[in-house]
Amino acid sequence: MDLSWMAWTLPTSLFWVCLAGLLIAMGVWEYFSPGGNPRVGILRFETTRGDRLFISLLGSAFIHLAWLGLVGPNLWWALGISLVYAVGVFRTV
C-alpha cells in the first residue's frame, strides 16, 4: 500500500496511535461497565463517557489550532492545556 501522500512523521504517528488507544480504552471501559454513566453536567443535557471524550477531543483540536495560529509551532504548552481541559470536561460536563 502506497502511503507516500501522508507525511508519516513521529508526531503524526503518535497522534494516530494515541487516538486509537483512547478509542480502544473507551471500548474496554464500556465492555466492563456498560451504560456510559450518563449524567447532567454544566451544559444541562445528558452526556455519556463517549460524549465527553468527543467534546474533549474537539476542544483539544481547537486549542491546538489556536495555539498554532497565535503562538507558533511549539505545541507542548497546548498539549498541557488540552490535558487540563479534558480532565475538566470529564469532571464537569
Over residues 46-74, the pLDDT tens digits come to: 999 999 999 999 999 999 999 999 999 88
Q: Does a structural domain hold residue 27? A: yes
Q: Does a structural domain hold residue 19? A: yes
Amino acid code (one letter) for 19: L
Enclosing domain of residue 61? 10-92
Q: State the pLDDT at residue 8.
A: 76
Q: How many domains does the chain have?
A: 1
Q: State the pLDDT at residue 33.
A: 87
Q: Does a structural domain hold residue 22? A: yes
Q: How far apart are the first and last CA of the chain?
A: 41
Question: How far apart are alpha carbons 13 and 85 in whole angstroms?
Answer: 23
Q: Does a structural domain hold residue 60? A: yes
What's this model's pTM, rounded to 2 decimal places? 0.83
Question: How far apart are alpha carbons 81 and 27 in whole angstroms?
Answer: 25
Q: Does a structural domain hold residue 5? A: no
Tens of pLDDT, residue by residue over 13-49, are 888 899 999 999 999 998 998 877 789 999 899 999 9
Q: Does a structural domain hold residue 84? A: yes
Q: Does a structural domain hold residue 3? A: no
Q: Does a structural domain hold residue 64? A: yes
